[in-house]
């Protein structure tokens, strides 16, 4: 949830953060994720509904609003995936504005 993301120490390392989810393991290289034992290339990343071609989450952690990890029972909108899906939603303008006003 957004509240949990804001308070986590792993916000700067999204893949290390994802490794805290069940059925998700971080590879020894610290770069790849194994979801339910599948190859790292079987994991698909979506950022605001757009598929990440290079398989990376190239946004700052502070811009993330919500992260969902699908390890099984993957919704049809994500296509044919054999490993898992990582769906990241970013904050909108009004979310950032609300945080800024609350911090004053």
Give the model confidence (pLDDT) of 51-95 as tens digits.
988 888 888 877 888 888 888 888 888 888 888 899 999 888 777
Predicted confidence (pLDDT) per residue in 38-54, tens digit: 888 888 899 999 998 88
Q: What is the Cα–Cα distance from 44 to 82, expressed in whole angstroms?
A: 9
Beta strands in the chain (DSSP E): 24-26, 33-35, 43-47, 50-51, 64-70, 84-90
| Range of lowest pLDDT (4-8, 28-32, 58-62, 76-80) | 4-8
Q: What is the Cα–Cα distance from 73 to 12, expressed in whole angstroms?
A: 29
């Amino acid at each position: 949830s957004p509240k949990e993301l804001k308070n986590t120490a792993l916000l700067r390392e999204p893949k290390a953060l994802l490794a805290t989810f069940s059925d998700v393991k971080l590879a020894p290289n610290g770069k790849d994720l194994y979801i339910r034992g599948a190859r790292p290339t079987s994991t698909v990343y979506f950022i605001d509904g757009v598929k990440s071609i290079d398989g990376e989450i190239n946004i700052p952690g502070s811009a993330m609003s919500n992260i969902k990890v699908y390890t099984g029972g993957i919704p049809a909108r994500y296509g044919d995936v054999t490993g898992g899906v990582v769906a990241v939603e970013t904050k909108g303008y009004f979310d950032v504005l609300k945080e800024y006003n609350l911090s004053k």
